[in-house]
């Protein structure tokens, strides 16, 4: 056995170090995500922009970048997939905040706290729909199917959680 295979690989000790090699990719994802606001009716774009601005550490886009980058060079399609996943995730957070009656997420008022549950639910639905539309524009239906399946699973989980509330 070689000494190389016996040496443990030390993982990066902090988020910044881990994400540093992906900063150009994550920047592309952020730009694409911000541009998605233009896909919505101007009368509701401020709600969507508010939801999209709450993307946190970009864990999901980073996982897309790390996964795809391990196989091939990162490209615009990878960034688009990361944007789709992030929109689905943010839509689930908007809906979750309504379900949990949350007033704050990531140190700022939730969309529901600012504009009410009806606007929040519909804005979350719009994010889901936009994510599916973007997925349908990719050259393969695989991503669209995965997004649909994931969305269905999340919604099913929320229903089951609601049915078990207080149990």
pLDDT value at residue 101: 94
Q: Is residue 15 part of a domain?
A: no
Residue 73: domain span: 22-163
Domains in the chain: how many in total? 1
Q: What is the pLDDT of residues 17-69, one digit of tens each?
A: 878 889 999 999 999 999 999 999 999 999 999 999 877 788 999 999 999 88
Question: Is residue 7 predicted with pLDDT exceeding 80?
Answer: no
Predicted TM-score (pTM) of the model is: 0.85
Q: Is residue 17 part of a domain?
A: no
Q: Using an 8 Å Cβ cutoff, are 60 and 92 in contact?
A: no
Q: Is residue 30 part of a domain?
A: yes
- CATH assignment at residue 94: 1.10.600.10
Q: Is residue 69 part of a domain?
A: yes
Mean pLDDT of the chain, nearest integer: 89
């Amino acid at each position: 056995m070689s000494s190389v295979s016996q040496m443990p690989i030390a993982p990066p000790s902090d988020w910044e170090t881990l994400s540093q090699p992906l900063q150009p990719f994550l920047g592309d994802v952020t730009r694409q995500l911000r541009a998605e606001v233009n896909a919505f009716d101007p009368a509701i774009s401020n709600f969507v922009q508010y939801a999209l601005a709450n993307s946190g550490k970009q864990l999901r886009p980073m996982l897309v970048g790390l996964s795809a980058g391990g196989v091939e060079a990162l490209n615009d399609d990878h960034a688009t997939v990361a944007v789709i996943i992030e929109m689905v995730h943010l839509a689930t957070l908007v809906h979750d905040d309504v379900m949990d009656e949350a007033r704050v997420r990531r140190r700022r008022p939730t969309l529901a706290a600012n504009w009410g549950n009806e606007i929040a639910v519909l804005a979350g639905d719009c994010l889901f729909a936009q994510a599916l539309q973007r997925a349908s524009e990719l050259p393969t239906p695989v991503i669209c199917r995965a997004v649909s399946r994931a969305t269905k699973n999340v919604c099913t989980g929320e229903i089951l959680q609601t049915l078990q509330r207080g149990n």
